[in-house]
Amino acid sequence: MNILILDDEPLELEQLEFLVHLHFPTWKIYKAIYGTEAIELAQSMLEKDSFQLALMDIKLPGRNGLEVAAKMKSLMPDLEIIIISAFQNFDYAKQSIHLKVLDYLVKPVIERELVEALQTFLKTRPEYENYTEVVRSVIQVVKEQYKEPLRLALIAESFHINVSYLSRLFREEVGVNFSDFLLNYRIENAKKLLIQNRNWSILRVAEECGFNSQHYFSNAFKKIVRCTPKEYRNRKVV
């Protein structure tokens, strides 16, 4: 599934990306700071695919976010839009209703409210997370037990399912294999802890996220995030 995030504040843009990936790690996220950039992304996307959902700010340099939303809807009629704005303005809300946006969230974004809005999207468009019950159960195990040593073989055994079958089914439905899904989920949680707990050592963050060594954690983090955990913390925390 493809999702577009449009916001002219880089920190807000990255925070939204982080929150979406934390709860929906398989979604492919595209980011834009300017409205024209978002429209160009949509036009290029039309050649092979489309966006299913867009999170969009209203106050943008140059072009009003609602104008961009209207243009995006004309390009992709099935696109669902969630407006995210610092302004509780009746005219904006009225225009949003006219555009039939899915939700209107006010900054600063509360994680619970964002997740609820994304879950609402999935209820209206269940085909974008149409996992079988067993795959949903495996994902739930990861979310609840990612801090613990997890092996697909043991999960399969607890579900009384052949591990080869479960491995193949998971990859077919989620798009990545189980070990990569688990690793990315742990890294997303590590990013959150590095920001929220500046006084924690890198080793403690690693252990809290299920890594059995700081060396492996740092290497995996750098491979995925393109910087070390320390560099990420210093860059994100002011």
pLDDT tens-digit series, residues 122-165: 887 776 777 888 998 999 899 899 999 999 999 999 999 999 99
pLDDT tens-digit series, residues 166-199: 999 999 888 889 999 999 999 989 998 998 898 9
What is the distance between the alpha carbons of residues 169 and 178, in angstroms, rounded to a whole number?
Answer: 10
Q: How many CB atoms are closer than 10 A to CB 228?
A: 14
Write down the pLDDT at residue 96: 64
Phi, psi of 133 (to 5 degrees): -60, -40
Q: Are 29 and 20 in contact (CB under 8 A)?
A: yes
Q: Please name each of the domains of the chain with its CATH number.
A: 2-128 (3.40.50.2300), 132-238 (1.10.10.60)
Phi, psi of 167 (to 5 degrees): -60, -45
Write down the pLDDT at residue 135: 92
Measured distance between the N- and C-terminal CA atoms of the chain, rounded to whole angstroms: 33
Neighbouring residues of 2: CB distance < 8 A, sequence distance ≥ 6: 27, 28, 30, 45, 49, 50, 51, 52, 53
Neighbouring residues of 228: CB distance < 8 A, sequence distance ≥ 6: 218, 221, 222
Q: What is the pTM (predicted TM-score) of this model?
A: 0.66
Residue 181 exposed, middle or buried by CB count within 10 Å (0-12, 13-18, 19+): buried
Q: How many CB atoms are closer than 10 A to CB 124?
A: 9
Name residue, tokens 């043991």: 154
What is the distance between the alpha carbons of residues 66 and 71, in angstroms, rounded to a whole number?
Answer: 9
Res 58 pLDDT > 90: no
Average pLDDT over residues 8-35: 89
